[in-house]
Structure 1
Amino acid sequence: MSQTGATRGREPVRVGVIGAGWPGERHAEGYVANPDARLVAIADANPERAAAFAARFGYLQNGQTLKVYSDYTELLADPEIEAVSVALPNFLHRPATIAALEAGKHVLCEKPPALNHAEAREMAEAAARANRLLAFALQRRFSPAVEALHELVSSGELGEIYHARGVWTRTWGVPKGIGGWFTDPARAGGGALIDIGVHVLDMAWFLMGCPAPATVSGQVYNKFPEETKTDDSAFALIRFADGRGLQVEASWVLAQDEDHYGVYIFGTKGGARVDDNRIDLYTVGEEGRTTRTRVIRAGWQQAFLGQAANFIAAIRGEAQLRTPAAHGVQLMAMIDGIYRSSAEGHEVAM
């Protein structure tokens, strides 16, 4: 299927959310804020959490009653629902997404796309067979700050972008998740890299125009096994087929001055740093360095609204997906390459 759905009338797209946790709530906020969407159902194995979700978001939709399902397969069997958000732990992304696609639903799946590249590719193939849209929730592409910097890059103001660096390193911050799934390799697929590194990797890659990766050199560490069985830190260099490069640094535990988060891009006419709320633009020359700062307060909250709006518009045939399945597949290939390079002890071809 193309990255837009069929043209349709002005009736709102009827959406269900699978997973009533924090990510599911953010997806729901995007839908209830969008006049072209109507949130109609929630599925969650925890009945209390599902009921609370239904009460909150039903109220936000003028008191509408949401359907509540304890099993997502029941939600997928509901003929009223046209599209779903899959907001479940990583190991459930593939089975829930494929089931939804086979049930005829368009899907917005939370990040990371899957446990690995093979799963992500299988999900994309299922979307093509079902002739339905599959988008991955790489929501920071919709951050107003990232959007503004993307426009500057596209305009040529910074010249040729030849290198980028994505950093998200915490001094201490290992997530656990229900039942400890975040720190279990079999259920999470990885650790700091696949959890927070995926965000800055994707932001930097998106700002560079999503070039094709050629090789990866990476090193991952598990230096705090009492906290996690996954990687607690990961560092990598990705070389692209066009000769450009991208560095990634991700950590849940790192002895440093403070937490660091942001993406740096370097061009022949200038450079920039961007996070959720701010852009710093740099120029250098014989006269010295100049810095211009633009503060954008909307942050990651607005990113979830923009993500939902793009997904709904694509279903309606009014926009292209900004986070299509093919990008999720390629992103997981790069992440797999980092893990493989570290395991094998050398640079690997993509």
Structure 2
Amino acid sequence: MSIPYWGQSLLRVLGGIVAVLLPAGTIVYLFLFKMMSFMQSRLGPMEAGPYGSMQLFAEVGKWLQKEDLAPEKADHRIFKMAPLIVLVSTFLLVAAIPFGPDAWLTNFEAGVFYALAVSSISVLGILVAGWASANKYSLLGGLRAAGQLIAYELPMVLAVIGVVIQAGSMNMQDIVVAQNTGEIFGLSLIANPYVLTQFIGFVVFMIAIQAELTQPPFDMPIAESELVSGYMTEYSGFRFLIFFIAEFATVGVFSLIASVLFLGGWGIPFSWFDWAGLDDVADWMNVAGPLILFTKMILLSFIIMWVRFSFPRFREDQLQRFAWKVLIPVSIANIVVTAILKVAV
């Protein structure tokens, strides 16, 4: 049965919404409400639903009922646009992620390039929010965010170059297949997930993600004790909720991207089922693939949130020094070694 173009477009939109909101809700409940609570020896929300399982819906309902306020001297049109810019960048990111052999929204040949480029859009939303709020704390938060995100985008890009060199493609589907059909020392039992051969790139990428998300220890743009929540200070009601959703949705989407680049994405080693390539993958992988990818995403999100709840905040000078003097040189060295081994082997 052929689906008309408008039907395909509608399915892609619905799929994108699910791919963004489902991980966001899962991360909030599992890690923000429960994991952090147990790490701090407390129960967390317990009243809304069994074991507090409906607390997320209660929080969303609460914020929807709050009044949408804006400072008198704010640039109201731009002030209201900022949260949407941040959220839209998250939805655009998920478009490049393959969820199965045929389960993808768009199969970009330069999917890695697209994802890294789109991830920069959120910086504009944060800058706009800080400037348009007519609040000195918000402006400082926006400027801090701009400096931080620009500094850590470079090591994130450099960390991915090693994966692109090794896979020989910027297509994310090709990167998934390359990992699941590869071998290590002639053994195909675990295929070749790039987290093994590109472990340095993986660590740099995860650190850069932590900084891009402005999560502790890289939360200087928000810094409640210094900037009263920074660029979000003047936001309330639904617009604050959008920032909140975008933050945790981006955790999920970046974890999905890291899973594709370093953990084999939706796949498992093809040799387990005598698959030779993508054409031989059974149709049921279009169903099992998203579940496999979701599991890997939860694992990486756990690492991100664990770091968030465990480390104190950097100083601004420490943050910049760490990016420019540590992560970038290490990433460049990783690229050089990868390129030499690619040519030699």
Give the TM-score category using the shorter length.
Answer: under 0.3
The normalised TM-score by structure 2 is: 0.27
The normalised TM-score by structure 1 is: 0.27
**Is the helix fraction higher in 1 or 2?**
2
